[in-house]
Every structure is written in structure tokens, then in C-alpha cells.
């Protein structure tokens, strides 16, 4: 271990970048002591030098171009908080790693899309690439999977990975208001972006799940292999009927390994209301890890925001300051292999279905016949909310193969009596 200062450059001075500088200003002596060497921010980069960020940046060298920051000879470690899977974030990260400088990033999109390439680049040049802040904010799940649980063969990793979606679904349940009303509230409160597609469409959670799967199962990051569905079609009847059954609707990312291969999916589903994930409220994130020797462990905490994300970033900086370079995904990049993809049709679970059909005699018989022909057994069925010439039918199935349910739902959607695309949600085991 060296006592020489670890010289740091911060690329990006938005909310999180400013938060990092605030932590250094507040706890410099503590950080130095825990790292075992001085940690010194020497340079920063952002688009607007004169913007008020609530923290003094006048004592640092300034670079307009983050790539120029990454190439500075007096910067040993680059903190990348620019965002985006490509563009300046990727270019700055590559520039730093190519000359052997360490990188700490909060960029889930970049790591999910280019993580394998960047990990190989880091290891080729003897640098560390750390990304604790990219998943679940202040929850140390990357460290847990990569270190604390490393003795285990992981079977399943799942959780609520997007606070915006969890806030919306929680408020729908508590207030009885519909999706669009709560989404507007989330945007006003700053929980959702003006364009919320990445969050409510499930893409943010999918980026994070791909990283958890790579760490948990020791395989290459495969973002393209994640099946993604968002919460845009969830309605109040879904929330309310799930509650009557003892469930809550959550957007959940699930990665599990079996003899048939790796399955990765992000979708709204039903979970027992009293389970660790089902009981989760608001913008909180939670991840459940299931290993062969440890059993089940649960990690919960704030999933975003200035303080939690900056805290995770600085934690990674401290680890690098202590010395030693470990593989980005727990296994040398050259040893990572692509996991076989388990066919989604081979998965099995109980399902919740919501159907909108013409309200006339014989319709339910048509629906039950389609399900029966597809070998999908019905556990419960009820009709709710009669409207002129239309009815909503809610169905809970026994466990069935996803392919069988998909085929049945497709057939129901093509019936003459079907008035809208059916909703099909898995009922996940907790």
C-alpha cells in the first residue's frame, strides 16, 4: 500500500457529482483515514463552469471536456457521473482506463451495455472499474454479491430496482387514484423525469438487473437478454384485486440460473403483501439474493438521490485507495462466458389475468375453453365493474408454463368477444 495521495477527477457536476464533492468537503479526514492514504480531488469537468451547484469548485482545475479530464496526468482516478450509455461518459471512461487510471461510475446504462468491454480494458491496463452506485443507490449490493456472498453459488437474485415505479404503485394502492395521476405527482416531486419512459418502461431496472446477474452468476453482462415490460398498463382493478388476494403489484427484476440456463426478466408482478419485496413502500429499493449456503439475504435502502448515490461512489473510491485491483465482475473478464439463455416459455408460475370482454352470456365459457385447451388451470375467476356492453374479468391460474399462458392470452385477445389486450402478470414466489 502506498501513502501517496490518490488524485481524483470528477466528470459531471450534476446532483450526484456535487454530492460527491460535498462528502469530501464534510468528511475529508475520515475518508483519508479509512482509505489509508490522502484522497484529493484535483480536477472537475462539466458543461457550465459558472452554474451554482451548492458547493465550491474554485479550488479545482477545470476541464470543459471530460475526456481531457480523463487524460490528465495528475488524475489517478476518474469519477464518472455524466450518464448515458455512450457519448462523453463512455469516451471518458475508456480514456481513463486505457492509461491505467481507475474509474468509479454510477452509470448503469453504460455498464449494462458496455460493461464487458470496459472490464477487459480495465484489467488489461491494471486499473479498477467500480460501479456500486449504478445499482440500488446507497444499498451496497454490488459489494455484497462480489465479496460477501462470493462463497455461494447463487440461484436467484431479484428485487425492486426502480424507486419511481415503486412510488407510483405504492401510491395507487394507498390513494385509490389511477396511474396517470400518480405519475404526474411523481414528476412534480422529482421522482420521475419529464420523459419517464426509462423508469416506467422498465429499462432502468433492466440495466441494473443485467449487472446483478453478471455478478451473481459469474457470466458476461447480457442486457439484450433481459425481457422487459413496464407498468404503463397497470390499472386500479389490478392493484385492488391483488390486495384482496393478499398480494401487491410491484415492478420486479428477476434473474435466476437453472440447468436450462439464465433467465432475466423485468415486469410488473404479484408478490405476497407480507414479503420483504411485497411490503416495500415508496422510492425504496430492495434486492433479495438466494445462495446455496447462505440461503436468502435481503438488502434494502434508498435507491437514488444525491446522498445515497454519492455515498456509494465515495465508498468505491475508498476501496481503491486501500490498494489492490479486483476484477470488475468478480471473475477476470477473460474468464467470463456467455450464459445459456433459458427459454422463457419453459418458466412456470401462477398468473393473474385481466380481460376486457363483451358482457353477454357465453363469454366466460369461451374464455375458460381457451385456457383449458392450453392446459392452463383456473384457480379463481370473477367479473367486476360492469359497463354498458363490457365487463372486466379477473382470473388467477394455477402454476402453468409461461409459453402455455402466453399462447392462451394470445388466443383470448383474438376472440370476437375481446375488447382490449389482456393483462397477464406472474405471481412470483417470495
Which among 36, 60, 41 has a CA at the least distance from the CA of 49? 60
**Sign of CA pseudo-dihedral 57, 317, 6, 116:** negative
CA distance 130 to 8: 14
CA distance 10 to 45: 6
H/E stretch holding 182: helix 179-189
CA distance 213 to 225: 11
For residues 239 and 278, the answer to whether their CB atoms sit within 8 Å is no
What letters, b where the CB count within 10 A reaches 16 and e where it falls short, cover 70-81?
A: bbbeebbbbbbb
Q: Which long-range contacts (CB under 8 A, 24 or more apart) does 363-366 make?
A: 363/391, 363/393, 363/417, 364/393, 366/415, 366/417
Which among 14, 22, 30, 15 has a CA at the least distance from the CA of 321? 30
Q: Is 22 a catalytic residue?
A: no
Q: Which long-range contacts (CB under 8 A, 24 or more apart) does 55-63 make?
A: 55/18, 55/21, 55/22, 55/25, 56/25, 57/13, 57/21, 60/10, 63/9
Residues 90, 208, 220, 250: which is the catalytic one?
208
Q: What is the CA radius of gyration of the chain?
A: 24
Cell, residue 355 = 380481460
Question: Which residues does the annotation mark as catalytic?
Answer: 208
Amino acid at each position: 500500500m502506498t501513502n501517496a495521495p490518490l488524485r481524483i477527477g470528477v466528470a459531471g457536476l450534476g446532483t450526484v457529482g456535487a454530492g460527491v464533492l460535498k462528502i469530501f468537503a464534510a468528511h475529508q479526514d475520515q475518508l483519508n483515514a479509512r482509505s489509508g492514504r490522502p484522497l484529493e480531488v484535483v480536477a472537475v469537468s462539466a458543461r457550465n463552469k459558472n452554474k451554482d451547484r451548492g458547493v465550491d469548485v474554485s479550488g479545482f482545475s477545470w476541464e470543459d471536456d471530460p475526456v481531457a479530464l480523463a487524460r490528465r496526468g495528475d488524475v489517478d482516478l476518474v469519477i464518472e457521473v455524466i450518464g448515458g450509455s455512450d457519448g462523453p461518459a463512455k469516451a471518458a471512461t475508456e480514456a481513463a482506463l486505457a492509461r491505467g487510471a481507475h474509474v468509479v461510475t454510477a452509470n448503469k446504462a453504460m455498464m449494462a451495455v458496455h460493461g464487458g468491454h470496459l472490464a477487459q480494458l480495465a484489467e488489461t491496463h491494471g486499473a479498477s472499474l467500480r460501479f456500486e452506485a449504478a445499482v440500488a443507490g446507497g444499498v451496497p449490493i454490488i459489494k455484497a454479491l462480489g465479496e460477501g456472498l462470493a462463497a455461494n453459488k447463487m440461484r436467484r437474485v431479484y428485487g425492486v430496482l426502480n424507486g419511481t415505479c415503486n412510488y407510483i404503485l405504492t401510491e395507487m394502492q394507498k390513494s385509490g387514484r389511477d396511474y396517470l395521476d400518480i405519475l404526474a405527482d411523481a414528476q412534480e416531486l422529482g421522482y420521475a423525469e419529464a420523459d419517464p419512459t426509462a423508469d416506467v418502461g422498465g429499462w432502468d431496472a433492466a440495466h441494473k438487473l443485467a449487472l446483478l446477474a453478471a455478478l451473481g452468476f459469474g457470466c458476461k453482462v447480457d442486457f439484450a437478454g433481459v425481457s422487459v415490460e413496464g407498468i404503463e398498463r397497470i390499472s386500479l382493478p389490478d392493484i385492488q384485486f391483488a390486495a384482496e388476494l393478499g398480494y401487491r403489484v410491484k415492478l420486479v427484476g428477476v434473474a435466476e440460473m437453472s440447468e436450462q440456463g439464465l433467465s432475466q426478466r423485468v415486469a410488473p408482478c404479484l408478490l405476497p403483501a407480507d414479503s420483504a419485496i411485497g411490503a416495500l413502500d415508496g422510492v425504496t429499493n430492495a434486492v433479495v439474493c438466494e445462495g446455496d449456503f447462505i440461503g436468502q439475504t435481503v438488502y434494502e435502502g434508498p435507491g437514488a438521490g444525491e446522498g445515497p448515490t454519492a455515498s456509494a461512489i465515495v465508498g468505491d473510491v475508498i476501496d481503491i485507495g486501500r490498494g489492490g485491483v479486483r476484477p470488475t465482475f468478480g471473475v477476470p473478464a477473460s474468464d467470463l462466458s456467455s450464459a445459456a439463455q433459458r427459454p422463457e416459455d419453459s418458466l412456470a408460475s401462477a398468473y393473474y389475468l385481466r380481460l376486457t370482454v363483451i358482457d353477454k352470456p357465453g363469454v366466460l365459457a369461451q374464455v375458460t375453453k381457451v385456457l383449458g385447451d392450453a392446459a392452463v388451470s383456473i384457480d379463481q375467476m370473477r367479473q367486476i365493474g360492469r359497463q354498458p356492453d363490457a365487463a372486466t374479468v379477473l382470473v388467477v391460474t394455477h402454476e402453468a408454463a409461461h409459453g402455455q399462458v402466453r399462447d392462451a392470452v394470445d388466443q383470448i385477445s383474438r376472440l370476437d368477444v375481446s375488447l382490449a389486450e389482456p393483462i397477464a402478470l406472474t405471481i412470483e414466489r417470495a
